[in-house]
Structures are given as structure tokens and as C-alpha cells.
Amino acid sequence: MILEAQTREITGKAVKALREQGFIPAVLYGQNISNSNLLLDYQSFQKIYKQIGESTILELKIENDNTPKNILIHDITFDQITGKIKHVDLYQVKMDKKIKIKVPIEFVGESLAVKEGNILVKNLHEIELEVLPSNLPKSIIVDISNLNMIHDKILIADLSVLKNIKIVTEPSMVVAIIEELRAKEIISEKPVETTLADIKTVAVPLARG
């Protein structure tokens, strides 16, 4: 997939005007390269990001630069009020150098324990890998079909990946576990009925003229 960009000379607070025109300020950086200020089309970038996330190699084409670059979407800053994208960090990778990157977990299969009314607790939603960019998976598949009883769990050590992929995340970490569904305690408050016998008479002194 191709991401197109323009070079950007405007920096600092002045980039606000660029955002209002439908652009996203971005920075390209990487090992042994100088940082480059870029400009991305908001709609185009948002569409690509929704499709591939942050764990897919993209081909970056910069205007007036005939050398495409292999990049990852490394970090995105969102506006806390509007939720819109404010800034993007792009990391240029070397295809012959391994990178460390977090990849999302994709849970598949059906658990007998869940079918019986228990809960699947997902402790992790991504795993850190060390891998060549060309071997980078879009996600790590975790099959939950062997979780049949309460307290059955899947550890990082239980996962299988290709030989050219190394899992960096601690092997003892729990990826998912079956927990018992505990019924909520329903507290029923009986309305208090007030009778005449419960009302105490309070003597009020008469005012003297």
C-alpha cells in the first residue's frame, strides 16, 4: 500500500492552519537518516490507517522524490477534544534489519468454558516481536478453542510463530484466561412504612404575649 506525502517547511504553532486545510503534519525518521518534516492528506491517511493500523509496512512516496521509502506508522497524536489526528510519526525501516514492534492479537475459535457461561479475560491485546520487516505479520493468531475449564489459560510461551519471528514479550505473561462468571448480588431494599405509632409528638411551647 502506498502513502503519499509532501515536504513541509512550516513548523510550530503555524501548522494549525495546515490542519484546518485538511492536512496532517508528520515527521519521517529512522536509523542513520535525517528527520524530514512532511505533510499528509487527512482523508487519505485516515483511510489507510483504518485498514492497516501500525504493524504493516507501507511504501512512502514523497513529492519530488523519486526514491520510495519503506515505512511504519510509528505513533499518532490525537486531539483530546475532537478525537481527530493531530500528528503522525513515520519510521523508515531497512528491509535487511530486524525491528522490534508490537503486533495486535487476533483471537479465534470457540471456548467450551465460555459457551457454558464463563468469561474469557483477555489480558493482552498486542505482542512485541523482533522480525525482519518483510516477515512482519499483520497480527498474531491466538486460538481459544482449547480453553475448556475455569482457570484454563494461554501464556506467551504457548504461542507458535514462524521460525523467522522472535517473540520479545515475557514468556510467562498470560494472554487470556477463563474466569468464573459471578452472579451479581441483588440488594432489595424494602420500603419503610411509617405508622402513626412511629411518629413522636414534639411539644412546641406557646408564644406568650
Model pLDDT, residue 191: 52
Model pLDDT, residue 183: 58
Strands (E) across the chain are located at 2-7, 23-30, 36-41, 58-62, 69-78, 85-92, 99-108, 119-122, 126-131, 140-143, 153-155, 165-167, 174-179
What domain range is 109 assigned to?
A: 99-179
d(CA 86, CA 97): 30
Number of domains in the chain: 2
In the chain the first and final C-alpha atoms are separated, in Å, by 96
Q: What is the CATH number of the domain that holds 159?
A: 2.170.120.20
**116 in the same domain as 53:** no
Q: What is the CATH number of the domain that holds 39?
A: 2.40.240.10
Structural element, H or E, at residue 45: helix 42-52
d(CA 118, CA 152): 11
Cell for 142? Answer: 491466538
**113 in the same domain as 34:** no
The arithmetic mean of pLDDT across residues 139-166, rounded, is 95
Examine the pLDDT at 162 and tell me if it is beyond 50. Answer: yes
Residues in CB range of 70: below 8 A, 6 or more apart: 57, 58, 59, 60, 92, 93, 94, 95, 133
Residues in CB range of 108: below 8 A, 6 or more apart: 141, 142, 143, 144
Model pLDDT, residue 199: 45
**87 in the same domain as 7:** yes
Mean of pLDDT over the chain? 87
- Interval 1-46: pLDDT, tens: 899 999 999 888 889 999 999 999 999 999 888 999 999 999 999 9
Ramachandran region, residue 12 (left: φ > 0; alpha: ψ -120 to 50; beta: rest): left
Going by their DSSP bridges, the two strands 2-7 and 58-62 should be labelled as parallel
Examine the pLDDT at 110 and tell me if it is beyond 90. Answer: yes
Whether residue 154 contacts residue 147, with contact meaning beta carbons closer than 8 Å, is answered with: yes
- Interval 115-147: pLDDT, tens: 999 999 999 999 999 999 999 998 999 999 999
**Is 160 part of a structural domain of the chain?**
yes
DSSP codes joined into one string, 160-171? ---TTEEE-S-T
Model pLDDT, residue 32: 85
- Interval 57-81: pLDDT, tens: 999 999 989 899 999 998 999 999 9
**117 in the same domain as 79:** no
d(CA 108, CA 55): 19
**128 in the same domain as 71:** no
Examine the pLDDT at 152 and tell me if it is beyond 50. Answer: yes
- Interval 165-205: pLDDT, tens: 999 999 999 999 999 987 553 344 445 554 544 544 444 44
Model pLDDT, residue 203: 46
The arithmetic mean of pLDDT across residues 204-208, rounded, is 46
**Is 130 part of a structural domain of the chain?**
yes
Examine the pLDDT at 163 and tell me if it is beyond 80. Answer: yes
Residues in CB range of 130: below 8 A, 6 or more apart: 98, 99, 100, 165, 166, 168
